[in-house]
Chain A
Amino acid sequence: MSTKNTKHEPSGISRRGFLKGVGAGAVATGLLQEVSESAGIAEAATPTTLGPGEIPIKLNVNGQSRSLNVEPRVTLLDALRNRLDVTGTKKVCDRGTCGACTVLLDGKVVYSCSVLAVEAQDKKIVTIEGLGTPDNLSDMQAAFIEHDASQCGFCTPGFIVATTAFVRDNPGATLEEVREGLGGNLCRCGTYAGITAATFEQAQKGGA
């Protein structure tokens, strides 16, 4: 991973820690930390408890506000896929290793398996579906097709979200920077040659 394209872990508590059963209080703490940080305020607020049952939340997905009910333990990935039928974002390792679930959260590249849905409220979520459509491909999507950067295609959405953000942040990146910058995503079919070529080409064109 290049420092230029660090996958930002949200500052809230990790899902894994939460699932280990420390209870809802820990979630609330995490949430508050997130809220305070994003709001830029330092003073402590009164802890609130969410759950353990389903709670109504709103998520801004690809520019649309979507209402849904989730338990606080539901990840952003599962909320997208299972509650909202936004299935371009893939579930592969479910523990922040492979990058198949990569989305943009307020423009930052994140693993959606490692963000709770409740943490993603009030943030702009962009998934692969938000970058382009078959009839209106983004430059990166078109470059992936031209360079045959997908085979089975299961890692492709995560890679395209990551590469889109990478060229946005690293216009003019060298081949070496591309190779290092995309270390947060894995492919099993072996499409790295095409992904490298597509990303390098787009970076050379000046980014998104």
Chain B
Amino acid sequence: MAKLAWPGPDRRKNIGARISRLDGPEKTTGTAKYSYDMNREGMLYAKLYQSPHAIAKVTAVDTSEAEAMPGVKGVYIEKDRRGEFPNITYAGDIICAIAATSEEIADEALTKVKVSYSDIGSPQMNDNDPSLISGRDQSKEQGDPDAGFGEADAVSEGTYGLACITHACLESHGQMAEFKDGELYVWPSTQNVSGYAGGLARAAELSADKIHVECQYMGGGFGSKFGADKWGSISTILSKQTAKPVKLMLERDQEHKVAGHRPSAFGTVKIGVKKDGTITAWDSDIWGSGGMGNFRMPPLPYVFTGLPNYRTLGRGIKVNRGAARAWRGPNHPQAALITMCALDDAAHAIGMDSLSFFKKNLHLTDRPEVYAEELDKAAEMIDWKGKWHPRGENTGGSMRSGLGLSIHTWGGGGGQSDCAVTINPDGSVVGRTGTQDLGTGTRTVQAIVLSDTLGLPVDKVRIEIGKNSLPASGASGGSTTVGGVSSSTRDAATQALNALLEKVAPDLGVEADKLEAWDGRIQEIGNPSKGMSWEQACSLLGGMAITKQGSKDTSDGTILTVSGVGGVGIADVTVDIETGMVTINEYAAVQDCGLIIDEKTCESQLYGGTIMGITYALYEETVYDPATGAMLNPDFEFYKIAGLADVGKIKVHLMRGPKYEDRGVVGIGEPAVISQGAAIANAVANAIGVRVPELPLTPDRVLDAISKGGVA
């Protein structure tokens, strides 16, 4: 019988190869239909009316003039469960919505809505003032920090931080909703196909089994698209009210204001260090904001969790901005920035090369060997030896270059996933899973696993995903998708194959145990002459297809996915000390990826993560008017994301070989985006001789730091 365990390197034809994503032809020709692209007969367009005030009570909403407009078909007014207008807590809070026959009419109708407010208050927009702290202290202590500082030859102290940023998905949040025969059909842009319907049950007044969800393509989520959200409910309610399909997608400014924020984090770190690079103590005091929600302290000290003596304190600040949402690698970019910059400053304090300092302390991490190999590889890729100089000790007129590094970790073990594999008598094969492909290549990895398990080329199998009528699969968060779906697919495919082998065994006169699927054939193991083609074998099924369901928690308990990876990033930058502009020359990303299913899309995660990381390191930041709380850059002109010329030369390296691959499948979408902020900030410090305390490393911040003691 075919075994569930992953095949060895000599038995992998598609797994680990470079395979182009299967939905490439649809994505490159505009034929891929995203939720935003769903047009239904007679549909209405819904638009949201948002509060211009950050703090206020709504006393009346008058939509009569809007409703009188030709083309306006439906109105929704937000009320809480007591039937009262909700209290406004940030500028952008949703007050009402209009559905009309065209986008233009809906837009115009919004201008005719009259909302009365009382108790308009002054918002609290400052997330970087420790005197504004509210909420409980989050503290942690290990060993004896005071004794540790006593042993130190030097104590380095610095301030570090990252501004709040948004997810800025190119396809905004929203959905198309349509009622048909008393059931609801929705096409949301979601990271959670199987888990989406429940969030609409109340708005639809239907049980979840009567809510049909489909999302074949979605234009980015990054952690912000797990739930049905208020706008999902609103489009559902408007659709029910008007008996028409209703599409509600957020406008770009709304997307920035209401659809997701990465919490900020700021603070001070003090590190005690001996001359030989031994870290003796850590003391950190961190504050930041998750908007009006709770602040969760980043996991500090990050990666170097074996630090013998440390004390950490985390405290939240309430800010009147939209709610925080999980942002690709929640809390890890913050933790990496704070930890790796503080450690880099400690290395500088004792005059040690940062690479040597980090390597010396790897025993304090969970995976010293992995990081050591990765650091050596990244250092070689970037020519650390040839290029490194002590902080600020460089010449070159106004253009100063520098190197910086960071290391990171992530879980990425597979999440819950079920998959049904059907082998048909005509030899066709389909794998069905209620998962979603965020652009990570979910379809493609499933097809690779399914085809390799059955000894077929990738184009001989078909994958169906993106509907909640398919076997349930978890939300795509935490980089859990690839581990989940590859395990469930392998499990289902192996069971289906074994059922086929049982059918074929008598015809071949070979016990099923001694049969294998290889190279498009079912044959005696290692003996192609005793076998038959895949199609012949399937024809023996007669009229009855085989369908087997597999799960992430596999049928015989074989573990196919594991959690925990390490990765490294090194940045090579040039800073123009006259303008404060930072240029990325090169970035080396080295990543432990577990068993790689598709090398091509795996590399793309590293390239993409690096680019997104460069973007938050250099450009991204939400800016608010302190008086009104209005977001001042809810667009792409002033909320900047990197363009093609801004990212320098990116080099990625995936760690391969049995030591890494035998562990099983691990998701790497999130580790790919963690180290960039810290590595680039450290490179900038190395270039200009002084720490720029906060991201993004905009020219004003860089010049400010230089003026306070950097290179002249």
The distance in angstroms between the C-alpha atoms of A35 and B217, with both chains bound, is 39
Distance in angstroms between the alpha carbons of A193 and B652 in the assembled complex? 11
Max chain B CB contacts within 10 Å: which of A82, A93, A180, A193?
A: A193
Please choose the segment from B305-313, B561-569, B643-651 that sits at the chain A interface, where 4 or more of its residues have CB less than 8 A away: B643-651
A125-161 vs B: 1/0 string, CB under 8 Å? 0011101111101000110111010111111110010
B36 within 8 A of A: yes
Contact status B31-A71, CB under 8 Å: no
B311-367 at interface with A (beta carbon < 8 Å): none
Most A CB contacts (10 A, CB to CB) among B21, B45, B170, B611 go to B170
| Contact between A153 and B29, CB atoms less than 8 A apart | no
A123 within 8 A of B: no
Q: Which of A131, A154, A195 contacts B219 (CB 8 A)?
A: A154
Q: Is there an interface contact between B33 and A87, defined as CB atoms closer than 8 Å?
A: yes
The yes or no answer to A208 lying at the interface (CB within 8 A) is no
Stretch from A3-11, A26-34, A41-49, A94-102 that touches the partner = A94-102
Find the residue from A71, A145, A183 having the highest chain B CB count within 10 A.
A145
Interface of A, secondary structure class, is loop
Q: How far is the CA of A179 from the CA of B609 in the complex (A)?
A: 19
Report A166-197 CB contacts with B as 1/0, cut-off 8 Å. 00000000000011101101111111111110
Q: How far is the CA of A28 from the CA of B258 in the complex (A)?
A: 38
The verdict on A108 contacting chain B, using a C-beta distance below 8 Å, is: no
Provided the pairs A78-B103, A141-B29, A152-B170 are in contact, do residues A185 and B220 lie with their beta carbons within 8 angstroms?
no
Interface size, chain A (Cβ < 8 Å)? 60
Give A94 to B170 CA distance when docked, in angstroms: 11
A146 and chain B: residue at smallest CB distance = B20
Q: Which residues of A contact B170 (CB under 8 A)?
A: 90, 92, 98, 100, 152, 154-155, 186-188
Q: Is B464 among interface residues, defined by CB-CB distance under 8 A?
A: no
Q: Is B29 a contact partner of A132 (Cβ separation < 8 A)?
A: yes
- Who on chain B is nearest to A129 by CB? B30
Q: From the candidates B104, B439, B440, B636, name the one contacting A97 in the complex (CB within 8 A).
A: B636
Check: B207 CB closer than 8 A to any chain A CB: no
**Is the CB–CB distance between B219 and A152 below 8 Å?**
yes
Set of chain B residues within 8 Å of A183, measured between Cβ atoms: 643-645
Decide if A182 touches B644 in the complex (CB within 8 Å): yes
Contact with A along B13-29 (1 / 0, CB 8 A): 00000001101111111
B120-128, B263-271, B510-518, B599-607 - interface stretch:
B599-607
Bound CA–CA A143/B612 (angstroms)? 23
Those of B1-46 within 8 Å (CB) of chain A: 20-21, 23-34, 36-37, 39, 45
Instruction: Tell me the complex Cα distance, A144–B20, Å.
Output: 10
Chain A residues with CB below 8 A from B684, complex form? none
Contact A148 B23 (CB under 8 A): no
Is the pair A92, B252 in contact by a Cβ cutoff of 8 Å? yes
Asked whether A191 and B608 contact (CB < 8 A) given A145-B20, A150-B24, A150-B27, the answer is: yes
User: Is there contact, CB below 8 Å, between B650 and A193?
Assistant: yes
B252 and A95 contact, CB distance less than 8 A? yes
Interface size on B (CB < 8 Å)?
Answer: 57
- Given A148-B604, A152-B438, A189-B608, A91 and B36 contact (CB-CB distance below 8 Å): yes
B686 near A: Cβ within 8 Å? no
On chain B, the residues within 8 Å of A195 by CB distance are 644
Let me know if B610 is at the binding interface, CB within 8 A.
Answer: yes
B601 touches A93 (CB 8 A): no
Q: Are B643 and A186 in contact (CB under 8 A)?
A: yes
Judge whether B607 and A190 touch: CB under 8 Å. yes
Nearest CB in chain B to that of A131: its residue: B29
Q: Which residues of B contact A148 (CB under 8 A)?
A: 20-21, 24, 600-601, 603-604
Given contacts A74-B104, A98-B170, contact A191 B26 (CB under 8 A): no
Contact between B28 and A160, CB atoms less than 8 A apart: yes
**Do A150 and B439 touch across chains, with their CB atoms under 8 A apart?**
yes
Does any Cβ of A come within 8 Å of B680's Cβ?
Answer: no
| B635:A190 contact, CB within 8 angstroms | no
Contacts of A78 in B (CB 8 A): 103-104
Q: Is A89 an interface residue (CB 8 A)?
A: yes
In the assembled complex, the Cα of A90 lies from the Cα of B611 at a distance in Å of 22
- Interface assignment of B641: CB less than 8 Å from any CB of chain A: yes
Tell me the bound Cα distance from A71 to B642 in angstroms.
36
Does B169 lie within 8 Å of A188, measured CB to CB? Answer: yes
The reply to whether B607 and A133 form a contact with Cβ atoms under 8 Å apart is no
Complex interface: chain B residues within 8 A of A97 (CB): 635-637
Measured CA separation A87–B40 after assembly (Å): 13
Residues of B within 8 A of A145 (CB): 20-21, 24-25, 28
Residues of B within 8 A of A187 (CB): 170, 611, 644
- Give the distance to chain B from A91, nearest Cβ to Cβ, in Å: 7
Check if B218 sits within 8 Å of A186, measured CB to CB: no
Chain A residue at minimal CB-CB distance from B600:
A148
Q: Which of B619-665 contact A (CB under 8 A)?
A: 635-637, 641-645, 647, 650
User: What residues on B are CB-neighbors of A135 within 8 Å?
Assistant: 25
Tell me if A95 and B635 are in contact (CB < 8 A): yes
Give the CA-CA distance A6 to B37 in the complex, in Å: 28
Smallest beta-carbon distance A112→chain B, Å:
13
- The answer for the CA separation of A190 and B589 in the assembled complex, in Å, is 14
In the complex, what residues of A have CB within 8 A of residue B643's CB?
A: 182-183, 185-186, 192
**A81 at interface by CB-CB < 8 Å:** yes
CA distance A55 to B251 in the complex (A): 26
Indicate if the CB atoms of A81 and B439 lie closer than 8 Å.
no
Whole-angstrom distance from the CB of B414 to the nearest CB of chain A? 20
Contact present for A188 and B28 (CB under 8 Å): no
- Bound complex: CA A180 to CA B251 (Å): 29
Residue of A nearest to B170 (CB): A154
Q: Closest A-chain residue to B610, C-beta based? A: A190
Task: Please tell me if B139 contacts chain A, counting CB pairs below 8 Å.
Answer: no
Q: Are B30 and A89 in contact (CB under 8 A)?
A: yes
The answer on a CB contact under 8 Å between A151 and B168 is no
The answer, among A94, A95, A146, A151, for a CB contact under 8 Å with B439, is A151
Residue of A with least CB distance to B25:
A134
A128, A150, A155: residue with the most chain B Cβ atoms closer than 10 Å: A150
Q: Is there an interface contact between B218 and A152, defined as CB atoms closer than 8 Å?
A: yes
Are B644's CB and A196's CB within 8 A? yes
Chain A residues near B502: list those with CB within 8 A.
none
Residues of B within 8 A of A82 (CB): 39, 45, 102-103
| A153 CA / B611 CA spacing, docked (Å) | 16
B171 within 8 A of A: yes
The CA of A132 and the CA of B30, in the complex, are separated in Å by 9
Query: Given A92-B252, A180-B645: A188 and B30 within 8 A (CB)?
Result: no
Cβ proximity bits A99-128 to B, threshold 8 Å, 1 near / 0 not = 010000000000000000000000000011
Query: Judging by beta carbons under 8 Å apart, are B171 and A152 in contact?
Result: yes
Contact between chains at A191 and B104 (CB < 8 Å): no
**Distance to closest chain B CB from A146 (angstroms):** 6
What's the least CB distance linking B143 to chain A, in Å?
40
A191 touches B607 (CB 8 A): yes
Cβ distance A6 to chain B, nearest Cβ, rounded Å: 15
By beta carbon, the residue of chain A nearest B20 is A145
List 4 additional A-B contacts (Cβ < 8 Å) besides A74-B102, A137-B28, A150-B439.
Answer: A82-B39, A148-B600, A152-B220, A190-B647
- Residues of chain B having any CB pair with chain A under 8 Å: 20-21, 23-34, 36-37, 39, 45, 102-104, 168-172, 217-220, 222, 251-252, 438-440, 600-601, 603-604, 607-612, 615, 635-637, 641-645, 647, 650
What residues of chain A have their CB less than 8 Å away from a CB belonging to chain B?
71, 73-74, 78, 81-82, 85, 87-95, 97-98, 100, 127-129, 131-135, 137, 141-142, 144-146, 148, 150-157, 160, 178-180, 182-183, 185-196
CB-defined A-B contacts under 8 Å, sample of 25: A74-B104, A87-B33, A87-B34, A88-B30, A89-B30, A92-B171, A95-B252, A98-B170, A134-B31, A135-B25, A142-B28, A145-B24, A148-B21, A148-B604, A151-B439, A152-B169, A152-B438, A153-B217, A154-B170, A154-B219, A185-B644, A189-B608, A190-B611, A193-B611, A193-B650
9 A-B pairs with the lowest CB-CB distances in the bound complex, closest first: A88-B30, A190-B611, A154-B219, A190-B608, A152-B439, A153-B27, A151-B439, A145-B24, A128-B30
